[in-house]
Structure formats: C-alpha cells, structure tokens
Structure 1
Amino acid sequence: MAKPLSEKNNSNYWRLEWLYAITREELLGKEKLQEKLEENHEEIETQMRIRKDLIDKQASFLNEKFTELKPVMEFIQSKQFRFNHPNLDFLSTRGPILDYDSDENVLYIFDVIKSEIIKVNVYNQEEIASVATWKFVEESGNLDNALAGLNSVLNHQHSTLNHYYVDNASRQRWLEQNC
C-alpha cells in the first residue's frame, strides 16, 4: 500500500488517496500494476453509479417539490407578483429563482408555465435554455439555494404584507409630521 503524503492529515480524502494510489512496487510489477489498475477502475465505476443514483434521487426530490408548490407558484404569478430569493438579489416574473451562476451570469429559474427549469441571462432576461432537473442537480450542486428559492414561495404573502405594513406606517408617519 502507498505511503501517506502527510501523517498529519486524517481526512477521508487522503485515506482514499493512499488506498488507491499506485505504489512504486506496483508500477514495477506488470501483474501487480494491471491488477491495481483494474481494482481502481472497478471502484471508479462503483462510485460513478452511486453518484448517478444520488443525482437521480435529488432530482426526483426537486421534481416532487415543484409539483407540491405549483399551486402556490401559479397563484403568485396570476396576481403578477415577482418571485425573489432569500439569498440572492434578483427578481423573476417567471417563477422561483433556484440559483445564480456568476461565471455565466445566468439565473436558474423554475418556469411556472413551462413546468421546467430554465437558464435566464441576468442582463437581458432572455431565456438561454431549458435544463433537465437531473442536469441542474449535476451542474449546480447548490441544492440548498434551490430549496431556499422554492420554499420562499411559502412565505411570499407574509413577506409582501410585511413590506406593505412597514411602507404604509412610514408614509402615515410622514403625513402626521408634515400635514
């Protein structure tokens, strides 16, 4: 087995690196080398299958969440309110904001009418592409952001009411002070 690069680091990552690294001894022995390469390849394939299964489960969860929240999203959209995100400073009329990719300057939005995830250019609001849920899960990786954006629709009316209560109180105070 390969010697660890650092005795100080006990993370699982390094333990896996030690386990699957090819040693000098294995490199010099053709049979051992082939055996090690095959062993590592089998483990890579296993991990790829596990990853695909996990992505499928995460995508399924998001699809169920879309279905569950669709009546709320349709109501918000029918009243011509905009969707916001608790952690991102963007608004959307098309549906809840799931994530923002700063490298591409695009928002991932669940389009309520189309019932699918879309990528939208933040500068001109043009739709760039539809994105399959599994692909969003695989590429985005920030499912906490997506879930926060979806769950924000449950607090939409409360947040809107609070905004109007505060705004109206401020306007009332102004009138009382100046009229």
Structure 2
Amino acid sequence: MRTRARYYSCNAGHLNRTRDAIDDFVRALVVARLQKKDLKRRKKQQADPEVKDAFSEQIAQQRARIARAERDYDAEVIEGADLARIRDAARTEITRLEAERLASGTGTVLAPILGTPDPAAAFLEAPIALQRTMIDTLMTVTLKRAKQGKKGFDPESVEIVWK
C-alpha cells in the first residue's frame, strides 16, 4: 500500500481507502495493546543485555546461514532454488527475531515508547515514523475492499494479524 494525502492505495491501483478512520482504528488497537499488563511484565523480564545479545546472536546465525548458502551456490554445491529457499526462510526468521527484540523492549528504536511509564500515551504523542515502527512491530495490517454502498468505516474491512 502507498500513502496518499487522504487515502491509502494499493500499488496496482485496485484499492483506495480513506486514511483517517483506518489510522484511528489501528492506533486504538495499539493503545489497547500497550495498556495490557502482560506487555509491561514481558518488557521488564526481557530488558536486560543478555536477552539483547541472545537476539543478536540468533540474527547473526541466520545471516551466516544466508552467507553459507551463497558460498555453496557459488561453489555449485546447491542450486538456485535451494539458495532462494534458504534465503527466504532465514530472512523470515530475521524479521521475526527483530520484531520480537523490538517488542521486548531491548531494541533501542522503540525505547521512547516502551521505556516510559505510560507506553500508550507515549505512542500517541510519538512522531508518525515511530508510531509506524511500533505498528509494524506489533501487527500486520491488511486492508480489504469496503462494502459498496455502505457509508462509514467498517472495522471488518481491516484485517489485523498480531505478531
């Protein structure tokens, strides 16, 4: 999706949706999630250097896996399809680990939100770029077509998958 002045549109131009109601809906979900006590408890449990090092080590292992597969491909030990499969799996795992590291509070990018006494309020006051990072860390948002002839915002037209 691309962001336009007042709406979101898909890259192929098949879908246009008004931004304001969608943004308000997604922000409300993030605020509700940030207010839950389990997130605060998890953040306290994982906000130590050893956890950060564990995430970094696992990410480094996945990057080494990609490099090893690329060397094997160059040496003609594996085929292109194998290289693609290994890269895709490792990159998916890296994305998951990075999101988990950020959500745990060990990542520095979200410290201005997660490191505060009231993460929900800090989220609402944060710059849009930081809000987007938080949203990407917590969920995947997919927009569906709005029902024809129906006025107003329908929450069913926004699919949320929590990470």
TM-score, with length taken from structure 2: 0.30
Q: Which structure has the larger Rg?
A: 1
| Higher RCO (CA-CA < 8 Å; seq separation 6+) | 2
TM-score w.r.t. the length of structure 1 is: 0.28
